[in-house]
A and B are shown apart, each in its own frame.
Chain A
Amino acid sequence: MKSESLLIRIGLALYLIMFFTYLIGPLILMSITAFNSAAFPQITPWEVLSFEWFPKLFNDDRIINGLKYSLIVGFFTVILSVSMGLAGALILTQIWPKMRATYYTIIIAPILVPGVVIGISTLVFWARINTMLGLEPDSFLANGIFLTVLGQSTFIASYCMLVFVARMQRYDTGLTEAALDLGASHVKAFRRIQLPFLMPAMASSAVLAFLASFENYNTTIFTHQKFATLTIVLSQKVRYGIDPSISALAFIIVCLTVFFALLNEVLNRRKQLAVANGAPVEAVTKGFKLPRFFSGNPAAIMFAVFVVGAIAVITFAQVYDPEPAKQVFKEDKRAKQKIAIEVMQQKALDQQREKQMKGPKIFESTDKKKSGENPGQETFGSVFKTDNLEEAAGTTNKTEAVGKNPGKSAFGSIWKSGNLDEIAPKDEKGESN
């Protein structure tokens, strides 16, 4: 009996480890690739620790513009969907009971409708309205930001509505009745009693709405027109060739998420602990007492470690210069390459000799065969070459580097598209429209 429970425990532990590896592992791997100087996001082979992808990210106009549009769209989406969600939830409590189920089904439906469908329907519908009103094809009704806000709000308002409904279920209607008995008008009772009660729900639904808007892809891809939000820009970059500056962005987003999640957890936990100890909340939130802050609060410890780590990494990045290490790495690579080439030449020579011994006919075709026999090595060789050229020539000569090794290998082609992407962002934009 006891051994069986031990077995279950071990099984559970293994399961938990595997599950969370699946959940967190990809994010960690992706973050690590942001610090590899290799031009392709990879962990092995590891080249040199480098922070070069972060400045590259911040100097990317399309990313910065995408961020700007995302923030604009997010702002309006939050306003529209929180107010519609609140209105919808309030009406739900007041609608006559026969209608309630139908009404609820209608306002919950957008969550289940695929985002693609919402995007298309929003676009075609407002284009139709636009022509019906006789407006120009580029009027504000056909504006990408306007359409994206409407499309996203359609289903984000449903999320907000759910948050409000959940909060309202805990509302004590006796409070409103008491206010009415004390002579307040209905309107006043609503504004002074019920609305303040809903404030926390408003805050959390606003956060939820903003995050949902920020990461939305399926709807936005149809409605964004020429205002590519951050998510759209990212998807184009990922599809047409990836480079580690995307990993850098991912790393930043992961860090921000972890930071806010831990912060939220710490604050919640502190309040809970305080209440559990019988202390009024203000007593604990007022003074900053280090030991108590940490006691019984593992999230707080993690939070502190995280902040210290972040500061350490940033300072280190200011001081650290990857160039010497890169030089060493380059030398190393060159030496290895030299050896590889020598080995290859030796091999080829050996083969040639062998074939020479066999007869003159085969000798004629050795040149062709040589390249055919070592395809793998050549692929490798070209990668090294591209890289070396790139490093030697700085950033401007990238096209040249590619031009000199036109599509030699899988690596080469990935490189190429990535470079094209950077050099001719306008072209791509035109394509996507």
Chain B
Amino acid sequence: MILKEYFKTNGLMMGWILLGLTFFWIVMLIVLPQLYMFELSFHPHLPPPEMGGPNDYLTLENYKYLAFGAEGNPDGYNKVDLAVFIRTLTAAAFVTVVDLLLCYPIAYYLGQSTGGGFVRLLVLLLIIPYWINEILRAFAFKIIFGDSGVLNEFLMFFAVIDGPIDFIRANVALYAGLGYAYILLMIFPMYNVIESLDRNQIEAARDMGAPWWMIHKRIVIPYAKPGISSGCTMVFMLSAGALAAPQILGGPSSLWFTQLVYQWFNTGGNWPQAAAYAIVLLVACLIIVLSVMKLFKVNMGDIGK
């Protein structure tokens, strides 16, 4: 019934092409790969010929490994991996909060200005770093924060410090690089929302004697909530899932959780274990994002606007 209507609207061939493409996208690219990876994470690590053989069984081993480590682990828990996991999530949250604080004023300024040539130029300047390759952005921070990097040379030249500071080991470079990489994804959702805010509302509040922080608290922030949450979601998910920046800017002693996944996958060749770690990362991120969205009463549909 409905299909008949559908084919009448689109024509037989066009209708099938549209259906086919969407089907391919949803089923073959989105749903099935994720489900298969989920299923794979419950299998032991076997060479390909033995897959589906008698040695293949469903097991929680891979998840147990993340929680408790290898068998006979004296610690009881897999302290190393769990610490990496928790540090990744807290660091990603930290980066998100810093980006939010950094970007809110600029988004407000750009959104509320009347839009002369100067503001257009600023918007242009915002976009340019975003189209530079992620690797190159990390590379720029390596140049700045390295042992003989620009910052160290600069500080030493003015005799602020005696010897070079190891910014890489202290993870300063990593946090600065991550915050930098996704800053635009924080600004633009907020900017888009604030731009549509009626300036008269702010004028009215000001006329009634509200101080500037009250105007933000009662008018701008509630109005911009979808933009803020959408920006925060993007930045959090992307920094928690970042791989290039931690690989390039991360200290030698501190790993990012995605690096563990990468190690299991490429160096270890243990696909089920990597799949289990990836699933844990995905689920943890989704839980955090969804609960924060629930807390601030924002819908999924607002994301990506």
Contact = CB atoms under 8 A, between A and B. Distances in A.
A211 B244 CA distance: 17
B141 interface: yes
B139 A238 contact: yes
A234 to B, nearest CB: 4
A26 B137 CA distance: 8
A362 interface: no
A154 B32 CA distance: 12
B194 to A, nearest CB: 16
B36 A116 contact: no
Contacts of A187: 10-11, 14
Contacts of A2: none
Contact of A221 (B36, B37, B153, B262): B262
Nearest to A15: B105
Given A187-B11, A298-B117, A117 B278 contact: yes
Interface in B66-106: 102, 105-106
Interface in A227-272: 230-231, 234-235, 238-239, 242, 246-247, 249-250, 253-254, 257-258, 261-262, 265, 269
Contacts of A154: 25, 29-30, 33
Contacts of A125: 32-33, 36-37
Nearest to A31: B140
A107 B132 contact: no
B274 A249 contact: no
Interface in B33-51: 33-34, 36-37, 40, 48, 51
Interface in A106-140: 106-118, 120-122, 124-126, 128, 131
A131 B135 CA distance: 34
A154 B109 CA distance: 35
Interface in B121-170: 121-122, 124-129, 131-144, 147-150, 153-154, 157
A288 to B, nearest CB: 21
A109 B290 CA distance: 12
B300 interface: yes
A277 interface: no
A12 B106 CA distance: 9
B143 A42 contact: yes
A321 B148 CA distance: 28
Interface stretch (B1-9, B55-63, B195-203): B1-9
Contact of A29 (B32, B40, B150, B261): B150
A141 B98 CA distance: 43
B219 interface: no
A113 B279 CA distance: 10
A105 interface: yes
Contact of B36 (A112, A121, A235, A257): A121
A33 B261 CA distance: 34
A187 B6 CA distance: 11
A83 B17 CA distance: 10
A251 to B, nearest CB: 10
A242 B262 contact: no
A107 B258 contact: no
Contact of A231 (B120, B134, B300): B134
A84 B20 CA distance: 9
Contacts of B135: 217, 231, 234-235, 238
B117 A120 contact: no
Nearest to B249: A238
B147 A410 contact: yes
A125 B48 CA distance: 13
A29 B140 contact: yes
A321 B31 CA distance: 59
A261 B153 CA distance: 33
Contacts of B274: 120
A120 B37 contact: yes
B240 interface: yes
A190 B183 contact: no
Contacts of A44: 150, 153-154, 157
B229 interface: no
Contact of B144 (A29, A110, A211): A29
Contact of B6 (A16, A24, A94, A257): A94
Interface in A299-313: 299, 302
Nearest to A137: B48
A20 B129 CA distance: 11
Given A106-B31, A108-B303, A162-B304, A113 B282 contact: yes
A91 B17 CA distance: 11
Interface string A176-210: 00000000011100100000000000000000000
A125 B147 CA distance: 43
Contact of A234 (B14, B133, B142, B240): B133
A150 interface: yes
A269 B289 CA distance: 39
A19 B102 contact: yes
A286 B233 CA distance: 46
Given A87-B22, A217-B134, A121 B37 contact: yes
Contact of A215 (B133, B140, B262): B133
A65 interface: no
Nearest to A195: B14
Contacts of A112: 233-234, 237, 285-286, 289, 303
Most chain-B Cβ atoms within 10 A of its Cβ — which of A107, A122, A217? A217
A348 to B, nearest CB: 23
B241 A114 contact: yes
B296 interface: no
A247 B146 CA distance: 15
Interface in A142-165: 150, 153-154, 157-158, 162
12 contacts: A23-B125, A84-B21, A107-B26, A112-B303, A116-B258, A121-B37, A122-B29, A125-B32, A126-B33, A217-B244, A297-B117, A411-B148
Given A105-B300, A265-B124, A411-B148, 8 more contacts: A23-B126, A108-B300, A111-B303, A116-B261, A117-B279, A234-B139, A242-B142, A261-B128
Closest 9 CB pairs of A and B: A114-B241, A187-B11, A121-B33, A87-B21, A125-B33, A26-B140, A30-B140, A121-B37, A44-B153
Interface of A: 12, 15-16, 19-20, 22-24, 26-27, 29-30, 33, 40-44, 83-84, 87-88, 90-91, 94, 96, 101, 104-118, 120-122, 124-126, 128, 131, 150, 153-154, 157-158, 162, 185-187, 190, 211, 214-215, 217-218, 221-222, 230-231, 234-235, 238-239, 242, 246-247, 249-250, 253-254, 257-258, 261-262, 265, 269, 296-299, 302, 410-411
